[in-house]
């Protein structure tokens, strides 16, 4: 299936849920949907375009919004589904009901960006240690690292 055929099929499957489509490079298709339409859109793409292999989910701090990109791959190329959420209310629906393996990536979004993933089956921290300070999200542009004071056991403070 060519990139143009993938886009045409995605348009037919998603209908009014599709905000934008792009083909920036050979074998790379980008589709944009609203957060409220995310789960239904991914279900349609999974069944209609056979996009079931979720390679990763990435987040981007883009100023006033977070862009969240769901990267699907197959032997014929990749499809990236993009959505944007406001920083003021960073909530996304979990897609674990559609792609169960997405849980690790969703937990990473919570740890690194502070994005709240609604209905996630296991919301525990994935990457950050127990006792990590509340409100500290390392992949936000406004985050600054404060090195803890080093203490050598039995030595000088």
Please indicate, yes or no, if residue 8 is contained in any of the structural domains.
Answer: yes
Position 153 scores a pLDDT of 75
Tens-digit pLDDT profile for residues 54-65: 999 999 999 899
Q: What are phi and psi of 37, to 5 degrees?
A: -100, 0
- Cβ atoms within 10 Å of 148's Cβ, excluding its own: 6
Q: Where are the alpha helices (DSSP H) in the chain?
A: 3-14, 38-48, 103-113
Q: Give a yes or no: residue 127 inside a domain.
A: no
Cβ neighbors of 135 (< 8 A, separation 6 or more) are 114
> Can you tell me the distance from the alpha carbon of 82 to that of 60, in angstroms, rounded to the nearest whole number?
11
pLDDT tens for the chain, residues 1 to 157: 899 999 999 999 999 999 999 999 999 999 999 999 999 999 999 999 888 899 999 999 998 999 999 999 988 889 999 999 999 999 999 999 999 999 999 999 999 999 999 999 999 999 998 888 888 999 999 988 777 777 777 766 5
Which pTM was predicted?
0.89
**Residue 106: CATH number of its domain:** 3.30.460.80
46 lies in a domain? Answer: yes
The two three-digit tokens of residue 92, written as one number: 């996304």
How many distinct structural domains can be found in the chain? 1
Residue 147 lies in a domain: no
Whether 152 maps to a domain, the answer reads no
What DSSP character marks residue 27? Answer: T
Per-residue buried b or exposed e for 14-42, using 16+ beta carbons within 10 Å of the residue's own CB: beebbeebeeeeeeebbbbbebebbbebb
Query: What's the domain range around 47?
Result: 3-118
């Amino acid at each position: 299936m060519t990139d143009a055929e993938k886009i045409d099929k995605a348009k037919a499957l998603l209908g009014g849920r599709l905000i934008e489509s792009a083909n920036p490079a050979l074998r790379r298709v980008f589709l944009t949907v609203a957060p409220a339409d995310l789960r239904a859109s991914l279900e349609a793409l999974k069944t209609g375009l056979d996009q079931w292999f979720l390679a990763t989910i990435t987040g981007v701090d883009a100023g006033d919004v977070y862009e969240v990109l769901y990267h699907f791959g197959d032997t014929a190329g990749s499809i990236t589904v993009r959505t944007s959420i406001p920083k003021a209310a960073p909530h996304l629906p979990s897609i674990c009901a559609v792609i169960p393996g997405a849980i690790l990536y969703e937990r990473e979004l919570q740890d690194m960006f502070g994005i709240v993933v609604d209905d996630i089956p296991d919301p525990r921290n994935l990457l950050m240690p127990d006792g990590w300070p509340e409100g500290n999200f390392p992949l936000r542009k406004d985050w600054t690292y404060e090195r803890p004071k080093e203490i050598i056991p039995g030595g000088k403070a």
